Amino acid sequence: MEYTLKRSKRRTLAIHVHPNGTVEVRAPLRLSVREIELFIAAKSDWISQKQVQFAARPVPVLPPLQYADGEFEATARDLVAKWEPRLGVATTFVGFREMSTRWGSCTAKTRRIRLNSALCRAPRECLEYVIVHELAHIREANHSPRFWAIVAQALPDYRERQAKLHQYSAALQSR
């Protein structure tokens, strides 16, 4: 079976099947290739099942670009500036990069947020949801009920925005 191996300082072995059917194995640095191969062999039925499930799904159409050249980052920064005082937070950095599994990330301790550059294809309300979500992490670093209360207070319709964004996930991750 073909797979991509990613090693890190993790303690456990994991398999991730992407929507496009590719397999990624995440392993601890010192785990032997033999142990990894045995694990994959033991999980081969599960891997095949996931690949079949993904193949049976309709191929989502990638939405068109929502912003003109350079407009996306400016819009995102404007939204950050709009929401910082409303949420009572301040960022030290707002960055953009391609991410394969996340729409955004936040380092609460340093108040830095990064946004997935693929959000340039998502509607403005989805971009705004991701920004509010990441800014809320500055106040509450986890996904506790307190965190979701902060998000809900800021965006009462966050669940609809989240669902809309989820529709784009498979298309963006299968690029």
Bridge partners (DSSP) of residue 94 are 113
- The residue that leads in pLDDT, 3 or 166, is 3
Number of C-beta neighbours around residue 120 at 10 A = 20
Q: What is the pTM of this model?
A: 0.70
User: Which sequence spans correspond to the domains of the chain?
Assistant: 4-56, 71-173
The CATH superfamily of 71-173 is: Metalloproteases ("zincins"), catalytic domain (3.30.2010.10)
d(CA 41, CA 69): 47
Element (H, E) at 35: helix 33-42
pLDDT at residue 174 above 60? no
* Predicted pLDDT at 147: 97
Q: Mind listing the pLDDT tens digit for each residue in 113-164?
A: 999 998 998 889 999 999 999 999 999 999 999 999 999 999 999 999 999 8
